[in-house]
């Protein structure tokens, strides 16, 4: 597996998003099977593993911690704070909470669940409108000084917030959604990160599965799957957006590969400091995704994709309205 730099932090070119093993894409997967999958990812060269206190809550961090404990010094663990979750019970109280004292309490709880003495990347999961970002950055800076955290990051943050935070505590990475299915970061976010020397970690790099080509207007999701509430995943939107999948399938067929690999290789081709974190619960999908790191898209391939994208208008918002309101504009 090739490596890339997020700021000064070296990681595998593709990471593993672990959220779906425990939450949001339906019932949690078998714990022991997921431990095997996480370790299999490392055996295949993955060094960046992404989780969060809110995935479960708490259960995903505990899973990742157990899986990586034997190889802790050979991996990079990223987790997140920022939602208002009772640290004793796991009860979601709604909204955000990035008060400095809460951040520090979350860090201590995360360290226990992750079975480690340091968090490699500590992201603010969502910007808290009630807490100045400078206070958040300062609190994480204190955790870095204490040795509990190595690197600071933000998730779904706007460019002015990023600049303000970075001025107080230099950041290593920003995480936001980015894929052929959602290209919002291209206008302002990517140029800002390049200017500041901050790495970018796209989540949902396969468009929450849509870019794999295995989802169409007739696909039925588990009742607990978050995609049931996403406008972009309504049957009408899936039908309307099929042209994007057709474009990816066409290029995949010509290159004798899969749509998922094309979608991930396209992301890797955008900037050398982009590290996508596709998630899966299946070994063969993990191997399929990791194959994208060795797939070279030529200038002709990228030009063909760009030309095809110019004629496609994506239907539907990428998140439910309530979730969109929590993203920092």
β-bridge mates for residue 83, sequence order:
96
- Residue-level pLDDT at 75: 98
CB-based contacts of 162, cutoff 8 Å, min separation 6:
154, 171, 174, 189, 192, 193, 196, 198
Q: What is the mean pLDDT of residues 111-117?
A: 98
- Separation between Cα atoms, residue 142 and residue 291, nearest integer Å: 39
Q: How far is the C-alpha of 28 from the C-alpha of 34, rounded, in Å?
A: 10
User: How far apart (Å, rounded) are the C-alpha atoms in residues 29 and 43?
Assistant: 21
- What pLDDT is stored for residue 201 in this prediction? 99
Q: Where do the domains of the chain lie, and which CATH numbers do they carry?
A: 3-206+271-294 (3.20.20.100)
In this prediction the pTM is: 0.98
Residues 7-47 pLDDT 10s: 999 999 999 999 999 999 999 999 999 999 999 999 999 99
Q: CB count, 10 Å around CB of 156?
A: 23
pLDDT computed for residue 94 by the predictor: 86
Q: How many angstroms separate the CA atoms of 317 and 59, rounded? A: 29
Residues whose CB falls within 8 Å of the CB of residue 138, separated by 6 or more in sequence, listed in order: 100, 168, 169
For all residues of the chain together, what is the average pLDDT?
97
pLDDT digits (tens, 9 = 90+) for 156-200: 999 999 999 999 999 999 999 999 999 999 999 999 999 999 999
Give the model confidence (pLDDT) of 258-304 as tens digits: 999 999 999 999 999 999 999 999 999 999 999 999 999 999 999 99
Residue 80 has pLDDT above 90, yes or no: yes
The token duo for 97 is 């909470």
pLDDT by residue (tens digit) across 218-232? Answer: 999 999 999 999 999
pLDDT in the model for residue 183? 98
Percent above pLDDT 70 for the chain:
100
Q: Confidence band (pLDDT; 50, 70, 90) for 235?
A: very high
Which pLDDT does position 18 carry in this prediction?
98
Identify the DSSP state of 15: -
Catalytic residues: 55
329 pLDDT higher than 80: no
């Amino acid at each position: 597996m090739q490596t890339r730099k997020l700021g000064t932090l070296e990681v595998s070119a593709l990471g593993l998003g672990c959220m779906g093993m425990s939450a949001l894409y339906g019932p949690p997967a078998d714990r022991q099977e997921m431990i095997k999958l996480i370790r299999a990812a490392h055996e295949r060269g993955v060094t960046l593993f992404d989780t969060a206190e809110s995935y479960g809550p708490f259960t995903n961090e505990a899973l990742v911690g157990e899986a990586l404990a034997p190889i802790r010094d050979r991996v990079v663990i990223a987790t997140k704070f920022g939602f208002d979750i009772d640290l004793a019970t796991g009860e979601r109280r709604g909204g955000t909470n990035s008060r400095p004292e809460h951040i520090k309490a979350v860090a201590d709880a995360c360290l226990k669940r992750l079975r480690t003495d340091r968090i490699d990347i500590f992201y603010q999961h969502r910007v808290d409108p009630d807490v100045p970002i400078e206070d958040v950055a300062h609190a994480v800076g204190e955790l870095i000084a204490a040795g509990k955290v190595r690197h600071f990051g933000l998730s779904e943050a706007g460019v002015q917030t990023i600049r303000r935070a970075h001025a107080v505590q230099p950041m290593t990475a920003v995480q936001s959604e980015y894929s052929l299915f959602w290209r919002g970061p291209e206008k302002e976010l990517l140029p800002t990160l390049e200017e500041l020397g901050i790495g970018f970690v796209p989540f949902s790099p396969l468009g929450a599965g849509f870019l794999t080509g295995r989802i169409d207007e007739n696909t039925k999701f588990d009742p607990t799957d978050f995609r049931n509430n996403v406008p972009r995943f309504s049957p009408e939107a899936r039908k309307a957006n099929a042209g994007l999948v057709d474009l990816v399938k066409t290029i995949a067929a010509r290159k004798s590969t899969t749509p998922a690999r094309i979608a991930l290789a396209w992301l890797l081709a955008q900037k050398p400091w982009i590290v996508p974190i596709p998630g899966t619960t299946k070994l063969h999908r993990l191997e399929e995704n990791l194959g994208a790191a060795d797939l070279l898209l030529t200038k002709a391939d990228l030009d063909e994709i760009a030309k095809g994208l110019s004629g496609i208008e994506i239907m539907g918002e990428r998140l439910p309205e309530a979730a969109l309101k929590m993203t920092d504009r």
